[in-house]
Structure 1
Amino acid sequence: MGDGRRQPNPKINYWRLLGSPRRHPNLPAEAGEHLAARAALLDGTYREVAARVPANSQIVFDDDGRLHFAALEPEPEPASLRQLREAVEAMLPRVDLPQALLEVFSWTGADQAFTSVTGGEARLKDLHVTIAALLVAHSCNVGYIPVIGATDALKYGRLSHVDQTYLRLATYRAANATLIDYQAAIPLAQAWGGGLVASVDGMRFVVPVPSVYARPNPKYFGRRGGATWLNMINDQAAGLGGKVVAGTPRDSLYVLDVLYDRDGGKRPEMIVTDTASYSDIVFGLLTLAGFAYAPQLADPPDQKMWRIDRAADYGAFQDAARGRVDLARIERHWEDILRIIGSIHTGAVRAYDVIRMLSRDGRPTPLGDAIAHYGRIAKTLHILRLADEPGYRRQIKSQANLQEGRHSLARKIFHGRSGQLYQRYQDGMEDQIGALGLVLNALVLFNTRYVDAAVNQLRADGFDVRDEDVARLSPFVRHHINMLGRYSFHLPDLPGGLRPLRDPGTADDE
């Protein structure tokens, strides 16, 4: 059976795509008017931003006319936010990790997504308990021993059978979709964001066993090989999907594949990545595919800005805008561009293979160069917006920080065997990291619901709860969840639907 991912034909001749009729539904068949509109947008944006430069304290130009950004000031943390955070965290009920998973299953029915690979096996008694145990075993990287128990659902034979028969990438993805949708409906998640901003970044794992699916990189893995979990998270803190890749390749090769192969949730509109994911071709492909690409740019002076009109006077940006976009080159290749984007959109090819196809010996092909020229328009608009809107820079930084917070929680969960991934094969890596991703989403949902309940209780008690402070509460709090030692798989009766919140005045050791 398949794993639920988009499956392009591995034997396809990608150049034959240029003769295919596929088109992206949101791109015009003729380039002329579309490119004229892009040119007008770029020209107008240059002029508007240049007019505001005298009042803009966030940017300076050096003697060579290159653009520099002032460092963003840290967002102030008011006393009201600190007080709210302390009160909320003191109220969160303490649970073992498996109890949190079982409770999330009881709310969402996500455990029903785990079906037998044979399609015909009767539903096992207490299957949800076995699934919770296996998720703990894999996501915590501790194996079966700490979760084995005396009940039938926790015996070794049962764990092994369910692991081989019910847990696979397709069922992880289906369960994730349920969790993502449930969490998105909670008011607190909606206070964090609308689900339309997402970031894609990599989390590195040392792979200490011999594997052709691991690659060396001394910076991250020392003398051993390793793999990267390239994963996507939206602004509501829900993990939308991911992909395990060997070593530490440029994220830009895989960003589009991760975007198009998400487990669930809304289709993101704005995509945040780190600097390593940036290239002009990727800018072009993402923009053509309908995404607003917003990578962090580590060193703006090294980022060439581009113009279309050689004669235009862009004021303070005149020297910075030293590159020229060739619209005629884009127009000559427009039909092929449409077919490439259409093929990615329909899943006929992986974007990874297209990006590799568009370059040869480190240099873009003529088609790749045309897409890069298109991308330079979007890149320059992005730089201009970074220069003009500190709030835009802060939004990008905030989303990147959110993903760092998720990776930090993932490290706490994946604590066994020194946090190293002991899987030799791609399928094993994908399955184990799939368990980690699902547990992360379950804990984010658990926290979202309980923090939301705590905020509501504080409001009812007359506590000064400000909406702007609520929006800055973390979905990744973890002190109340035990992830170590042996685990309890007993879920108490919860007649009110949730556990009682703790009294914030109760001492921590009680």
Structure 2
Amino acid sequence: MQGLLSALTIIAELYRTGKRRLPDRVPLRFVPSAWRPFVLRDGIVDRAAYELCALAQLRERLRAGDIWVSGSRQFRDFDSYLIPSATFDALREKGPLPLAIETDFDRHIEERRARLDTAIEQVTVLARQGELPQVRLNESGLIISPLKAATPPATEIARRAAYDRLPRVKITDLLLEVDAWTGFSECFIHRRSGREADDRNALLTVILADGINLGLTRMAETCRGASLRQLAHLHDWHISEAAYGEALGRLIDAHRAMPLAALWGDGTTSSSDGQQFHAGGRGAAIGDINARSGNEPGVAFYTHVSDRYGPFATRVIAATAGEAPYVLDGLLYQQTGLTIEEHYTDTGGASDHVFGLMPFFGYRFAPRLRDIKERRLHLLPGQEAGPLLAGMTGEPIALGHVAAHWDELLRFATSIRTGTGTASAMLRRLSAYPRQNGLALALRELGRLERSIFMLDWLRDIDLRRRTQAGLNKGEARNALARALFFNQLGELRDRRFENQTYRASGLNLLVAAIILWNTRYLEVALADIGTPDEIARHVAPLGWEHISLTGDYSWNVEDRPDPDALRPLRAVRSLLAA
């Protein structure tokens, strides 16, 4: 590193003085082998090649974070993202760090070693006995059979019967009813005065315009009694990302307290996934192209969903951005009373960095890895996998490197926990390095260890596979409802500004949560009315929208709204048959 900096100093001096020849002795240790035939010609240093090599190496070192520029935003020292070393030392000396793992390195590794030894032994014994659930593992390789559907056949009949009983309702009436239950509109206070909106209906109109992607101009034309000027004023002064987060928290907390929601899960597991939305019209340039989602530009809404179907966090990310850095954001910064212990993603949300970081905050990471058979187990030094698992074993964990950077890892995780920086911003910075720095490599090695434990758990625990599949299915079903709601402007984002895209994503998620809450409350009554047992009711999702009118004139009939402690009457079966 010092050799490169010295070379750059020499080059700068040449340009300052106007000299053409390099000094007789110049630093060469930084020159890679691929560059040496060009830099050294017959034992003589070629100035042009030397300069190009030095600048190329400077670019790589800047990207890797090994060299930084004082005052720069893009090429900041990574240490500046973390809490000051003195503050971290004070926190450590005062008491236990706000982390969920054993902070003593030796004890932490021994606990992980014991877990890995146990998992290896159990998988080996079960495999030799042919008792790995829906898994065949032998010297020839690994075969994992797809999970069989666990939904009872009577579920579809119960679902149709229950939804046939739900009242038909306009989306505006649904929002009024949910607002009467939760008061979520109170969260959208004036940015300056802190007062609630004088016209509650106009505020709900603005939220609805975000949620269904209609926009304020067309909403003003469609909604009676609201002018564009009034809606724009409310949006400018009352709508904010923080307000959307607080309002969503009210809906999620109200929903998770309902008895029917408890049948769907205990509220301790969740999943997250990205949903692609195309960017159309003049704003097409705002989007990037992701080959997996077609050749049209767009962005993605990355949403976290609890096992009770509640979408408790969402954010906008670039279509080409990796999903893995954003997994922790939704878990750490959500504004609900949920206590998540286990989280699921698909392969796109999984990386060794996320595997390594999750335990620091008390989360068990359980992604559905599409290529699990091609992935390698990484054991600690001195551990043996045995002949049955030998074909799945890769290079051992670089334990010495992890030990050398353990304090940095603790400081890194503490910085995220204390809010010095977001998890996504820090992980994006680490993963962007073409040649990863010491901290990134240490976190990767720790993640390999956690992933190896998880892979063995995946083979021996069919309940873990079922929970993961069920969690991801709930997120995908929620995406179908979101797609149905976000139907205006061909379902495309036309806004150039990231702030407006965020409002659309937050409004859509709030609308989804309101429909889920409304459906759940009425499904409780409908399922009880038709005598549905709990083992069937737990498979009926609150994601239907056939009974909700999403289009037409958006009017707010407050007089027709039931009292907060009352519900609309269910539809009678005879009237359905007559229709």
Inter-partner Cα distance in structure 2 for 1:203 and 1:247: 9
Specify the alignment match of 1:407 in structure 2.
Answer: 479
TM-score, length-normalised on structure 1?
0.90
Cα 1:148/1:123, change in 2 over 3 Å: same
Is the Cα contact below 8 Å between 1:325 and 1:373 reproduced in 2? yes
In structure 2, give the amino acid aligned to 1:101: L
Specify the alignment match of 2:518 in structure 1.
Answer: 446
For residue 482 of structure 2, give the secondary structure of its aligned residue in structure 1. helix
Cα 1:252/1:201, change in 2 over 3 Å: same
Residue 15 (1) aligns with residue 69 (2)? no
Residue 192 of structure 1 and its aligned partner are, at CA, apart by 0.8
In structure 1, give the amino acid aligned to 2:418: T
Deviations 1:204-239 (A, max 9, x none): 11112347752223542534x211111111111111
Residue 108 (1) aligns with residue 186 (2)? no
Specify the alignment match of 1:229 in structure 2.
Answer: 301
For residue 388 of structure 2, give the secondary structure of its aligned residue in structure 1. helix
Specify the alignment match of 1:4 in structure 2.
Answer: none
Specify the alignment match of 1:168 in structure 2.
Answer: 240
Is the Cα contact below 8 Å between 1:20 and 1:339 reproduced in 2? no
In structure 1, give the amino acid aligned to 2:134: Q
Residue 472 (1) aligns with residue 552 (2)? no
**In the TM superposition, what are the counterparts of 1:73-472 in structure 2 within 5 Å?**
73-79=148-154, 81-119=155-193, 123-124=197-198, 127-144=199-216, 145-146=218-219, 148=221, 152=225, 154-208=226-280, 209-210=282-283, 213-220=286-293, 222-223=295-296, 225-308=297-380, 310=382, 312-314=384-386, 316-359=388-431, 361-458=433-530, 463=531, 465-472=532-539
Specify the alignment match of 2:26 in structure 1.
Answer: none
Q: Which consecutive unaligned segments of at least 5 residues does structure 2 have?
A: 1-71, 89-96
Specify the alignment match of 1:72 in structure 2.
Answer: 147
Deviations 1:231-275 (A, max 9, x none): 111111111112112223110122222322213231311111110
Specify the alignment match of 1:5 in structure 2.
Answer: none
For residue 68 of structure 1, give the secondary structure of its aligned residue in structure 2. strand
Cα 1:76/1:137, change in 2 over 3 Å: closer
Residue 323 of structure 1 and its aligned partner are, at CA, apart by 3.5
Specify the alignment match of 1:494 in structure 2.
Answer: 562
Cα 1:253/1:149, change in 2 over 3 Å: closer
Deviations 1:160-216 (A, max 9, x none): 222222122121111111111111110011111122111111111111234775222
Inter-partner Cα distance in structure 2 for 1:386 and 1:443: 35
Residue 47 (1) aligns with residue 111 (2)? no
Is the Cα contact below 8 Å between 2:99 and 2:413 reproduced in 1? no
Aligned partner (choices 58, 76, 86) of residue 134 of structure 2: 58
Is the Cα contact below 8 Å between 1:256 and 1:351 reproduced in 2? yes
For residue 98 of structure 1, give the secondary structure of its aligned residue in structure 2. helix
For residue 387 of structure 1, give the secondary structure of its aligned residue in structure 2. helix
Is the Cα contact below 8 Å between 1:252 and 1:276 reproduced in 2? yes
Deviations 1:2-36 (A, max 9, x none): xxxxxxx9797432437354344334442111111
For residue 229 of structure 1, give the secondary structure of its aligned residue in structure 2. strand
For residue 476 of structure 1, give the secondary structure of its aligned residue in structure 2. coil
Is the Cα contact below 8 Å between 1:244 and 1:430 reproduced in 2? yes
Cα 1:87/1:196, change in 2 over 3 Å: same
Residue 37 (1) aligns with residue 115 (2)? no
Inter-partner Cα distance in structure 2 for 1:391 and 1:505: 42
Deviations 1:267-317 (A, max 9, x none): 311111110122212210112232111111102211111222545354632
Residue 325 of structure 1 and its aligned partner are, at CA, apart by 1.9
For residue 488 of structure 1, give the secondary structure of its aligned residue in structure 2. coil
Cα 1:332/1:505, change in 2 over 3 Å: farther
Is the Cα contact below 8 Å between 1:227 and 1:244 reproduced in 2? yes
Cα 1:151/1:74, change in 2 over 3 Å: closer
For residue 305 of structure 1, give the secondary structure of its aligned residue in structure 2. coil
Is the Cα contact below 8 Å between 1:102 and 1:128 reproduced in 2? no
Deviations 1:398-427 (A, max 9, x none): 111111111110010010111000110111
Structure ID, larger Rg: 2
Cα 1:120/1:438, change in 2 over 3 Å: closer
Cα 1:28/1:61, change in 2 over 3 Å: closer
In structure 2, give the amino acid aligned to 1:181: D
In structure 2, give the amino acid aligned to 1:411: R
For residue 302 of structure 1, give the secondary structure of its aligned residue in structure 2. coil
Cα 1:150/1:76, change in 2 over 3 Å: closer
TM-score, length-normalised on structure 2?
0.79
Is the Cα contact below 8 Å between 2:304 and 2:312 reproduced in 1? yes
Inter-partner Cα distance in structure 2 for 1:131 and 1:159: 7
Aligned residues between the structures? 491
Higher RCO (C-alpha 8 Å, min separation 6) = 1
Specify the alignment match of 2:47 in structure 1.
Answer: none
For residue 306 of structure 1, give the secondary structure of its aligned residue in structure 2. coil
Inter-partner Cα distance in structure 2 for 1:319 and 1:338: 33
Inter-partner Cα distance in structure 2 for 1:356 and 1:167: 28
Is the Cα contact below 8 Å between 1:24 and 1:339 reproduced in 2? no
In structure 2, give the amino acid aligned to 1:59: V
Specify the alignment match of 1:504 in structure 2.
Answer: 573
Inter-partner Cα distance in structure 1 for 2:494 and 2:385: 59
Cα 1:439/1:244, change in 2 over 3 Å: same
